[in-house]
Structure 1
Amino acid sequence: MQRFQVGEDGDGAELITKAEAAGDAEYASAVRMFVAEERNHARLLALLLASGDAPTIASHWSDHIFVTLRRALGLRLELLVLMIAEVVALRYYRALRDGGEDALTREVAGRVLADEERHVPFHCHRLRRALRPLPAPVRVLVTSGWRAALAAACLVVAVDHGPALRRLGVGRGRFAVEVVRSSGPIAAAMR
């Protein structure tokens, strides 16, 4: 849970800057609200960790790689990379909500999951607008590449979080299969 808490805790400044540069004030405002929700997730997870006498961590190598990739290019790439984390998080928070040992964990995970379930369509809508000018075969190639990157990231999470997933009643393989399976309709929504 500490690793997910670190991932939720970014300031979102790069994403906000790119959203503002896109020239759509309504979208930029929505991105600021998205970032605020992510920061609230980090706060809730930190409080949950503290309630169990578990420390937060300042950084993790997976978050560093994720942030570096997100910031590499423009808004489209940032959103595609961000969507990898959002889709993996959907299954992870569902596992916490459904398999958590205590009511507080299940409650916090349920709240975060409810937000994440709204974030994915929000980002899909923007990606669909951003990818629309591309020829259909290129859009398919982009979303297929996104699904491959998602599968790779999901395998890393499944291995890295294997013991926690088992405690939540979700094995590594099942976690990975369910995340990858969920990506088909999401990729279609981006096209």
Structure 2
Amino acid sequence: MTETLFALVSTYGLWVVAGSAFLSCLAIPIPTAVIMLAAGGFAAAGDLVFWQVLGTAWLAAVLGDQTGFHIGRWGGPPLIDAIARRTGRHKLIGRARDTVHHWGGIGVFLSTWLFAPLGPWVNLIAGAARLERWRFTVWDVAGETIWVTAYVTLGFAFGSRLEELTDIVTDWSGMIVSAAMTVTLATLLVLKLRKTRKMR
């Protein structure tokens, strides 16, 4: 799988970077992190231009998030409920809904890089919840800047050991996301308990 992705990046370059970054923000399961690592590695080898990879991935990711946000804004809660029924992603969508409702713009920011699996769903729910466009955009741009810069730069810095780096980052990112989600859920629980006590 990894070798196939590397071959796609080598053959189609920025088109693959742009397509994967855009589509992954719409909940299409594409290993965009691996593709950005590969593109960074090819930039280090001189096959691609670093700033073009960075700019393409960043712009495509922001456009993907904006598309998801406006789809959610257009469809509203009924669309979210329909997607949950058809995809069976009730738990993931529920977590995304809690993230938006409790954290607002900061939740959008964290979902673009720290809680990346939630990102596409947060985009939809933020739109459906009528989060202000400017707030969504500001936090989204900040988060995608971190996400894209981190992966492309890692690929550029360690391009000679790209396959090993891909394995490490894949395992590491999964552990980080799991730990971060656990901490966030625990924080939300504590805040809810405090709120309940104050109401008594």
Larger Rg: 2
